A and B are shown apart, each in its own frame.
Chain A
């Protein structure tokens, strides 16, 4: 079974530029999550999708972050414009049902200069 795929693996941008990350979850997993992990911290939930609907985006900075999961499969997370404090690893996870055994992708390491 293929795992959660993410691209790109690394991205360096200047502040005020925009960036997009892509995630393809495990086949058949209805729930998809995006997490932000700042160096030295644990992952922090940004948004949760159930199929193509948003279940929880309470911690998503909506003035600059947006995410979509149009066909209920893969998802895109965008930052526009980026700030220095957005430097982090962005992790995508998927699960078959509920919080049980969320499977994580390798992450995208974003550096904002």
Chain B
């Protein structure tokens, strides 16, 4: 049972355009959502997060949108740059006695075309 789903294994975007990565979740107990970026042979790097009490969080070129009723979140990157080419993971956390390990999606490989 996959609780966090990233249905696009890969996405190709032209440099300078907007990249939109999508994520759906099924567990209504999730209350904190994060996006991680991963380069080959490195560990995931934290990018941006959002709490369930918000519907938008922005940090420079990166904006995350949360639609709780649809159990959907998206990451927007504007403008896309070549260094953004990486695998992006959506992750979620649910409260519960201090247990706050993350549940990850399978990732989306973003390719920025020059």
Contacts and interface: CB of A to CB of B under 8 A. Distances in A.
A61 interface: no
Contacts of A85: none
A43 B44 contact: yes
A110 to B, nearest CB: 14
Contacts, number: 61
27 contacts: A4-B43, A31-B100, A33-B101, A33-B102, A35-B101, A42-B106, A42-B107, A43-B89, A44-B104, A45-B102, A48-B100, A50-B98, A55-B97, A55-B99, A91-B43, A91-B44, A93-B43, A99-B34, A99-B102, A100-B32, A100-B49, A101-B34, A101-B46, A103-B46, A104-B45, A106-B41, A106-B43
Interface of B: 4, 32, 34, 36, 41-46, 49, 89, 91, 93, 97-107
Interface of A: 4, 31, 33, 35, 40-45, 48, 50, 55-56, 91, 93, 98-107
